[in-house]
Amino acid sequence: MKRIKAIYPGSFDPPTNGHLDLIERGSKIFDELIVAILRNPEKAPLFSVADRRNMLEAMTRGFENVSVDTFDGLTVDYALKVEAQAILRGIRAISDYEYELQMALMNRKLHPELETVFMMPAEKYSYLSSRLVREVAQLGGAIDCLVPELVAQKLREKIDVAHKFENRERAASKTSAAEKSRVTKKRSKS
């Protein structure tokens, strides 16, 4: 019997409960599913590829037929390399459709044998995106129901470090401004 292998490519910056929902659905219809993180040198991600890989590996530990990998270049080339027959993508709302259709048709043009399979995550995740999770977390909103606990923890750590860095920069620039005004006052007195 033919075994069907699929890849689930994406940025996963960070992985969300919506991604996990899709991975679970994909793991039920494909014999093997590879979650493939794009290494994109043009984007400045919040999490390094290594961090995203660690998070996804921890999140998918319970699925026997799911593995995590990274790739660069064309998704279709990666799919060919790992001998996958399908690309799994999630569609949350009509707004996703146009971009996903364009991508699926371009991938079909590049490699006609490869099928794109769209799945819908649970409705409760239909508004969820990595971009919104990053924004809510950075602005201090609650993210607990949006991402697995280990991702929430990593986000909190990352944002704490960023705030500490910002505060240190602010304190350093205040000190240097105070120092400048002290020197100016001293010069004008002498």
Annotated catalytic residues are 19, 43, 92, 130
Q: Is 161 exposed, middle or buried (0-12, 13-18, 19+ CB in 10 A)?
A: exposed
Stretch that binds ligand PNS, among 102-110, 142-150, 153-161, 162-170 (CB under 6 A): 102-110
Cα 162 to chain center, whole Å? 18
Please report how close the Cβ of residue 114 comes to ligand PNS at its closest, in angstroms: 11
Per CB under 6 A, the list member of 16, 17, 60, 107 interacting with ligand PNS is 107
Task: Select the residue whose beta carbon is closest to ligand PNS and give its number.
Answer: 10
Q: Does 103 bind ligand PNS (CB under 6 A)?
A: yes
Per CB under 6 A, the list member of 16, 17, 27, 75 interacting with ligand PNS is 75
| Cα–Cα dist 8/86, whole Å | 9
CB 4 within 8 A of CB 85: yes
Q: Does 38 bind ligand PNS (CB under 6 A)?
A: yes
Q: Does 65 bind ligand PNS (CB under 6 A)?
A: no
Tokens of 147: 């991402």
Number of other CB atoms surrounding residue 145 within 10 Å: 10
